[in-house]
Structure 1
Amino acid sequence: MQGQVTQPPLKVYHADSFDDRLSFITKNKSYQYAEIEECDVIIHHQIVHKPRHTLKLIKVLNEKYESSQKKILIFIIHDFEYQYPMFNNIILLRTSVRASGIQPNEIVMPYIWETLRKPLPQIGSSALPKVGFCGLFSKHRKKLIRVFKESSKMHCDFILRSKFWGGAPNNKEIVSDFYKNMMDNQYILSNRGAGNYSMRFYQVLASKRIPVLVNTDMILPFADKINWTDFIIFEKDEKKCIEKVDEVHKSGKYQSMQEKCNYIFNHYFLEEVCFDHIVVQLREKSMLDVQEATSSTNRFFWWKVKKFLYKFSSN
């Protein structure tokens, strides 16, 4: 299997079977189930999808397992990108987080689901860069789309939707449009959506295409291992993205960059290897070392975050 790492397994306790999405953990060589007395870490068995429930869950799990003297991993996959109160023995794996606000107990969680297992055929040479996008025309994408559409240096192929997945995520025609758009283009605009991350980013990598996105105070996963800017377009603003695509295309590097995108996906983000790399990160950062289970934040901060989460969930 590509991307497998050699390391001792992590002894994991979970109170119930993992939900469908978290079941990928058991496919990794680093996973070994253990009872709570013998485990290295506790993993909450369900992914957290609702911002409003996250704060309460963090408190409940901290209190429930405080006497175990074990670290607790919580996987959070929703759009809230701001800070939570920090407990020493809680580790949060979050898809959406700001680089300027990430805390010592947090790791960026890649969105590894709903991707192609087999990459699309590589696209050969073209006079102009072929730039695609098929998806929701949302506020964080509008400027990037407009700048590319107005450039005479780009061949743009954009399908703009007014709703997420066109309002029908299981519609075969809409899904077909999405992948045909990637099939036809070398570069795919992959800016963030409502959260400070992009599901599309990983779908593009898996498909052997080059993501193009503005750095909106992001941290890309495994950034200490992956030199992302060698093979994707990840710039500080929209103008820089145009300039970089033009430069890459004229140099001819886009051919090898497509290959590298798929290589990185297979080595880090396949379900069979991703948890292995998460475990490496946890160990290298000494995040599994047990400390006294305390919160680093005061009551006012708790109240502020709770109020913000309620407002965020209502939008």
Structure 2
Amino acid sequence: MIKLLVAGEVYPKRQHIFPLLKPFEKSGAFTDAQRMSLYNISENDVHFVEVMQDADFVLLPMSWNFYRSENKMATAKQILAQANTANKKVLSFMVGDFGIDIPDFENVIVFRHSGNRAWLPETHVGMPAFVEDPMQKIFKTEGYFNRAHNQTPVVGFCGQANASMLNAAKELLHTAARNVRSKLGMSRGQAQQLLSTSYLRAAILRTLEKTSIVTTNFIYRKQYRAGATTPEMRAKTTREFYENMRDSDYVVCVRGAGNFSVRFYETLAMGRIPVFVNTDCLLPLAETIPWKKQVVWVDYKDRNRVGEKVAAFHESLSAQQFEDLLAENRALWKEKLTLGGFFQSVLSSESNRK
């Protein structure tokens, strides 16, 4: 059981509440069975204490973005100082596609989805995008769909991709301007890679379509969620999205505006193999999960060889190894990349270091 001290006020801004608190910030009608089903964590897994010395960790309840935008950084720093005096590590996090600049605190872990690993201190830790179980939500089952190991791998993708050079130029100018504002101290946001992510995604897909060593299963959308505006349309396009994954062996996962991919975690949840284009991403549990074994790892410099990478990975697997990997990825998501699974894994690891 993890013992946590929530240090400070929890404000009614759910987006900014520390993820591990959210399962416990529910109405009285929310049962522990529902908590387990939705978040994979139980009230028996976490004990909230009142005294700092009794805690395994001190939890900063709101995001760094919140403390910065609400001019409450002094409050956060005071909590950190108290924890440091008590020799307690503090858990904190950032929200959004882009990080914000904060001081480098030695006794603080900063969980975040996005960021460039090479640019960040080791205290900044990758956090999954927590997604609802698509097998339960869409397909009404606890299992996953197995696939046979065919000679030619099927690579799927359903979403937006824009090969327009004009759009790419606009993205680059926008990012460059944001980086200048960041460097001059005119923005709280951190500088980002100078990269057109929509063009990168389109280029990856185009490279795969040109090769004969993989079979592509792509659905192109001109708008996010195909422009769905009603619950019925959103349900239809969401089902099509996951059916595309179901009918593929591998799924292209390229960063979006932020340097991370939600699709990466959705793919694992479906028991499929991500084709992960690494743009110096901040992956969760990088010290314990052998990511290069679980996914087709394509470094950004090798993006033009993505077809070769997929084909070589697929050829290296026997039929049984391929089927085992699908099962492993589904289990990996459930056990370590759901909200409860992730925090119990990472905090158990941190506790063992003490």
- TM-score of the alignment, normalized to the shorter chain, above 0.5: yes
User: Greater RCO between the two (CA within 8 Å, min separation 6)?
Assistant: 1
Whole-angstrom CA distance in 2 between matches of 1:151 and 1:52: 49
Alignment-derived partner of residue 61 in structure 2? 45
Correspondence 1:181-196 to 2 at 5 A:
181-196=244-259
* CA gap 1:72/1:12 in 2 versus in 1, 3 angstroms: same
Whole-angstrom CA distance in 1 between matches of 2:326 and 2:116: 27
| Aligned residues of 1:210 and 1:258 also touching (Cα < 8 A) | yes
Report the Cα offset of residue 200 of structure 1: 0.8
Report the Cα offset of residue 180 of structure 1: 0.9
Identify unmatched segments of 5+ residues in structure 1.
Answer: 1-7, 287-315
Single out whichever of 68-77 and 101-110 deviates more from structure 2: 68-77
| Aligned residues of 2:157 and 2:218 also touching (Cα < 8 A) | yes
Q: 1:134 aligns with which of 129, 145, 158?
A: 158
* CA gap 1:54/1:195 in 2 versus in 1, 3 angstroms: farther
* CA gap 1:74/1:58 in 2 versus in 1, 3 angstroms: farther
SS of the aligned residue for 1:32 comes to strand
How high is the sequence identity, in percent, across the aligned residues?
Answer: 25
* CA gap 1:59/1:97 in 2 versus in 1, 3 angstroms: farther
Give me the TM-score of the superposition, normalised by structure 1: 0.76
1:227 aligns with 2:290: yes
Alignment-derived partner of residue 100 in structure 1? 118
Whole-angstrom CA distance in 2 between matches of 1:215 and 1:120: 26
Amino acid at match of 1:130: V
Q: 1:27 aligns with which of 42, 49, 63?
A: 42
1:259 aligns with 2:327: yes
Single out whichever of 223-232 and 69-78 deviates more from structure 2: 69-78
Amino acid at match of 1:39: A
* CA gap 1:57/1:163 in 2 versus in 1, 3 angstroms: farther
Whole-angstrom CA distance in 2 between matches of 1:139 and 1:179: 23
Correspondence 1:155-194 to 2 at 5 A:
155-168=215-228, 171-194=234-257
Whole-angstrom CA distance in 1 between matches of 2:114 and 2:250: 23
Instruction: Kindly report the root-mean-square deviation, in angstroms, between the aligned alpha carbons of the 2 structures.
Output: 3.0
Measured against aligned partners, the alpha-carbon deviations of 1:144-174 in whole angstroms (never above 9, x if no partner) come to: 1111111111111111223333344851111
Whole-angstrom CA distance in 1 between matches of 2:5 and 2:126: 20
SS of the aligned residue for 2:213 comes to coil
Alignment-derived partner of residue 197 in structure 1? 260
| Aligned residues of 2:153 and 2:314 also touching (Cα < 8 A) | yes
| Aligned residues of 2:207 and 2:306 also touching (Cα < 8 A) | no
**How many aligned residue pairs are there?**
278
Measured against aligned partners, the alpha-carbon deviations of 1:111-133 in whole angstroms (never above 9, x if no partner) come to: 12233243431121334211110
Correspondence 1:275-314 to 2 at 5 A:
275-284=343-352
Whole-angstrom CA distance in 2 between matches of 1:227 and 1:134: 27
Single out whichever of 23-32 and 216-225 deviates more from structure 2: 23-32
Amino acid at match of 2:76: L
Whole-angstrom CA distance in 1 between matches of 2:40 and 2:63: 12
SS of the aligned residue for 2:219 comes to strand
Whole-angstrom CA distance in 2 between matches of 1:26 and 1:267: 11
1:10 aligns with 2:10: no
1:109 aligns with 2:127: yes
Give me the TM-score of the superposition, normalised by structure 2: 0.69
SS of the aligned residue for 1:273 comes to helix
Whole-angstrom CA distance in 2 between matches of 1:242 and 1:58: 47
Whole-angstrom CA distance in 2 between matches of 1:36 and 1:25: 27
* CA gap 1:44/1:243 in 2 versus in 1, 3 angstroms: same
Report the Cα offset of residue 83 of structure 1: 5.3
Identify unmatched segments of 5+ residues in structure 2.
Answer: 24-38, 137-141, 162-197
Whole-angstrom CA distance in 1 between matches of 2:271 and 2:40: 24
Whole-angstrom CA distance in 2 between matches of 1:265 and 1:217: 21
Whole-angstrom CA distance in 1 between matches of 2:4 and 2:353: 18
Single out whichever of 202-211 and 250-259 deviates more from structure 2: 250-259
Whole-angstrom CA distance in 1 between matches of 2:108 and 2:333: 28
Whole-angstrom CA distance in 1 between matches of 2:277 and 2:66: 25
* CA gap 1:17/1:276 in 2 versus in 1, 3 angstroms: farther
In terms of fraction of residues, the more helix-rich structure is: 2
